[in-house]
Structure 1
Amino acid sequence: MMKKQLIMEKALELFAKQGFESTSIQQITEHCGISKGAFYLSFKSKDELILALIDYFMQQITSDIDYAVKNSKNENLLYIFYSELFHSLQKHVNFAKLLVKEQTQSFNDELFLKMRYYDCLTDRSISHLVDRLYGKEIEPLKYDLVFTIKGFINSYLSLFLFNHIPLDLDLLSKSLVDKTNLLAKHSSIPFFSKELKQILTESLDHELSKEELIELITQEIVEIEESVEKESLILLKQELLQPSFNPVIIRGLIENIRNHPHCKWISYLLRKHYHF
């Protein structure tokens, strides 16, 4: 296991018991069985570790949902979106509980900006989903539906966070598909003005540059051990620097790295870069 991954997993165990603020770096290093020097080789501070944890879990969820949706046919698209989302949330529910608790107790600007970034990614994904499902017919109500879908997600998320009851995620997903389709077909009064739409669109338009993507891949190549994923990353970096592969090969290389926990985010960004 990579040292950074070990630190994150062990730190999460302590954070879940004690919270972010009450857990010291000394406690983390003792729980990991490493020195403080080894900790600081991986993370500059506890705050950096916390942000890395947020990145890790949010990137896992975002990339899994994106892949499932983009590889689904339109007739099952909405169900797959809800199902994949709630299964991912259920899988990471302990971290989600911790994050909600800490957000209510902290006014950390970096934490706020980090969550805002992933919130914008969620808006963008749902916006593309609505485009695929309903097309131009729903254009005046598009952003109202985007925020309604987010509202459904946030409302039902409370069942995961505050209740200890078994949930039928298949039934939940089907129920939300039914509700979403009813709103899409029968809503008639939009809330979003032209100005509000413009502001929202601008917040969703930022894309990682090719240079930023190359830098991210370079960092990951250094950190992961020799493997098919590492070889694929090297080839993908070369392709970004000097394009020569056809789309089939590029897709195959991205597929090679998709299930590696430290490459999921890169596979997500590469799919967006190549419009796969």
Structure 2
Amino acid sequence: MAEKNKLIIENAIKLFSTNSISSTSIQDIATESGISKGAFYLHFKSKDALVVAIIDYYSDLITSCIQKSDYDDLAPRKQYNQKLTDLFEFIIQHKDFILVQMKDPSIPLTDEMKSSLKRVTYKMTQFHQTYLTEMYGHQIKPFLWDLTLIIDGLFHSYTKFLIHAPVVEIRILVPYILERVDSIVEGLKPDDALLKEEQIAAALSDFFEVDDSISVSATLHEIRNVIRDSEKKDELFISIDMLEEESQKTQPRLPIIQGMLLNLRNEPGIQKLIQRLVTHYQLNDSLFND
């Protein structure tokens, strides 16, 4: 991102958090940024376009936070603990962004703003669901949506509290939250699931706009963790490495992707994950169903 765009975004957030979006004019933002009102329009065509850019800017920062590879050598629970800690610290550090949402909760949203917010929500949901599955195993699948909303609710509630009253250390708070989730998981019974996959599938598009690159990345991450204890893991990890490399390309080579998925298909516990990628890349289903 251009430095001038970043400067305008950060100054706008500061003004929005103090005065609200509706009460802040483009002239206010331009003055705070040390540019003319005309120069503002060289960077953003409108205030709405600026708000979309702000959402995307913070979405990218949050994505970098939850996808960082610094903790890849740790067990899933420790990874999750560290990333939640980093996420809390990041949000508190950038609390003006949250204050804007608190100050203007009912601001009219354009379709582009809604789309950007849906992408943020999707990324966070994938983040929680990936680690919940890794921590507690596939036996929690019937409760995955319930647990996702519970931990997301805890995270957001404590975030709002800490912004105004930072009386608890984050390094103590995160293990506390995970221990509460442990207690919930321990008490679950097979018939306890409130939100079932088939019930919410039709409504997902109302909450999420799927970022395909994140979907593929999260799926491959999930596969890697399922096969971590396999005797053939070194061989299988090579296939996953190649899949990750192809998924980052503008035009992934489908024959390479198909070949690598065929290398993985007989490994126990990942058939549904493989099928997710087969569907995503529109590969020949019959090759994976014999």
Question: TM-score, with normalisation over the residues of structure 2?
Answer: 0.65
The residue aligned with 2:196 is 193
Q: Percent identity?
A: 26
The residue aligned with 1:37 is 38
The residue aligned with 1:103 is 105
Partner Cα distance (1:34, 1:205) in 2: 35
Count residues with an aligned counterpart: 217
Compare CA radii of gyration and give the structure with the larger one. Answer: 2
Partner Cα distance (1:58, 1:205) in 2: 13
The residue aligned with 1:133 is 135
The residue aligned with 2:242 is none
| Letter of the 2:196 counterpart | S
Partner Cα distance (2:208, 2:101) in 1: 24
Cα distance change on mapping 1:120 and 1:70 into 2, 3 Å: farther
Measured after TM superposition, the shift of residue 119 of structure 1 is 1.4
Contact 2:21 2:104 in 1 (8 A): yes
Contact 2:11 2:29 in 1 (8 A): yes
Cα distance change on mapping 1:155 and 1:128 into 2, 3 Å: same
1:61-92 superposed Cα distances (whole Å, 9 cap, x missing partner): 23202225872422413322321221121111
Partner Cα distance (1:60, 1:207) in 2: 15
| Letter of the 1:168 counterpart | E
Partner Cα distance (2:76, 2:14) in 1: 40
Partner Cα distance (2:133, 2:127) in 1: 10
Contact 1:68 1:81 in 2 (8 A): no
2:89 to 87, 104, 115: 87
1:206 to 191, 206, 210: 210
Cα distance change on mapping 1:185 and 1:81 into 2, 3 Å: farther
**SS state of the match for residue 49, structure 2?**
helix
**SS state of the match for residue 103, structure 1?**
coil
**SS state of the match for residue 5, structure 1?**
helix
Measured after TM superposition, the shift of residue 168 of structure 1 is 0.8
Cα distance change on mapping 1:205 and 1:7 into 2, 3 Å: closer
| Letter of the 2:90 counterpart | S
Measured after TM superposition, the shift of residue 47 of structure 1 is 1.0
Q: Which stretch shifts more, 54-63 or 66-75?
A: 66-75
Contact 1:127 1:142 in 2 (8 A): yes
Partner Cα distance (2:28, 2:80) in 1: 44
Q: Does 1:121 align with 2:120?
A: no
1:138-166 superposed Cα distances (whole Å, 9 cap, x missing partner): 122122111111121122122124x3343
Measured after TM superposition, the shift of residue 60 of structure 1 is 0.7
Contact 2:118 2:209 in 1 (8 A): no
Map residues 218-237 of structure 1 onto 2, 5 A cutoff. none
| Letter of the 1:191 counterpart | L
The residue aligned with 1:67 is 68
Measured after TM superposition, the shift of residue 184 of structure 1 is 1.8
Question: TM-score, with normalisation over the residues of structure 1?
Answer: 0.68
| Letter of the 1:192 counterpart | L
Measured after TM superposition, the shift of residue 28 of structure 1 is 1.8
Partner Cα distance (2:81, 2:131) in 1: 11
1:19-62 superposed Cα distances (whole Å, 9 cap, x missing partner): 21111112222222223332112111011111211211232123
Contact 1:68 1:84 in 2 (8 A): no
Partner Cα distance (1:167, 1:67) in 2: 25
Unpaired stretches in structure 2, ≥5 consecutive residues = 214-245, 254-280, 282-290
Cα distance change on mapping 1:43 and 1:145 into 2, 3 Å: same
**SS state of the match for residue 170, structure 1?**
helix
The residue aligned with 2:78 is 76
Aligned-pair RMSD on alpha carbons? 3.1
Measured after TM superposition, the shift of residue 205 of structure 1 is 8.2
Cα distance change on mapping 1:73 and 1:60 into 2, 3 Å: same
Partner Cα distance (2:98, 2:140) in 1: 33
Cα distance change on mapping 1:121 and 1:242 into 2, 3 Å: closer
| Letter of the 1:206 counterpart | V
| Letter of the 1:179 counterpart | R
Partner Cα distance (1:21, 1:103) in 2: 12
Partner Cα distance (1:33, 1:135) in 2: 53
